[in-house]
Amino acid sequence: MHFCNPLLAGFLFKSITMKLEILAFGAHPDDVELGAGGMLAKHASLGHKVGIIDLTQGEMGTRGTPEIRLKEAQEAAKILNCSIRENLGLRDGFIRNSEENQRVIIKAIRTYRPDIVLCNAPSDRHPDHGHASKLVVESCFLAGLRMLKTSNEEGEEQLPWRPKRVYHYIQFDSLTPNFVVDISGFMEQKMASIKAHTSQFYNPNSEEPETVISSKYFFDSLEGRAREFGRTIYTEFGEGLIAEEMIGVEQLFTLM
């Protein structure tokens, strides 16, 4: 498994010749685990190559440090059986949909050539989530433009690539999904990946300041939400996704 060191200066991207089928972007380390950890674990178990790219180090967070959070992210990725996890080193708290940031993400998309991209909720309690959402969506489109040139770290020109689908996972706010993915059988793995971020979530022995997400009620609510999503599709657990475009099916029997 490959990890970029987010403590390095500048553009924190390594050129990897690996095709991913699902690539999940998160504004902060732990975003993906909270919103889509179950579905990543499930698809990895089915033989699909999945990966995570964190946009920031989470350096503005009340708890933990960039060094601690890197180690936690590495452990969580192993639990979910991710093929790669990288950190792009954008500014936590100040994610902007700029050309500079778009080009960073475009390079990642063109390197891993994912069929499906998952990204932050379109709007949420943390402003970075909505900003990251728009940044990734626009970068996915621009990555398919032939006239937009990018190069890998060896100086080789990258070929254009546009993911087939972009979906938003649901985070703190209660947004209505377009569809729900059954993650029954993978809830334990999802929760283990969240617990790997020990500096961020409920720990009765922690001496750090309490935050909304470090509270016990927040941690307990994660299972409650997954059960509620599961209930709506007649399964034990589920994770909801919001589609960027209209969803089409070949026939009615494709649906559950």
Q: Do residues 50 and 25 touch, judged by C-beta distance below 8 A?
A: no
194 occurs within a structural domain: yes
**What is the chain's alpha carbon radius of gyration, rounded to the nearest angstrom?**
17
46 occurs within a structural domain: yes
Counting residues of the chain whose pLDDT is more than 90, the rounded percentage is 89
Whose tokens are 């996972």? That residue is 169
Average pLDDT over residues 20-40: 98
CA 50 to the chain's CA centroid: 10
**Number of structural domains in the chain:** 1
What CATH number is given to the structural domain containing 75?
A: 3.40.50.10320
CA distances (Å), origin 93, targets 45, 62, 71, 132, 174: 34, 12, 21, 10, 22
pLDDT per residue over 102-118, tens digit each?
Answer: 999 999 999 999 999 99
Neighbours of 233 (CB within 10 A): 15
- The pTM assigned to this predicted structure is 0.92
Residue 7 confidence (pLDDT) = 43
Q: Which domain holds residue 133?
A: 2-245
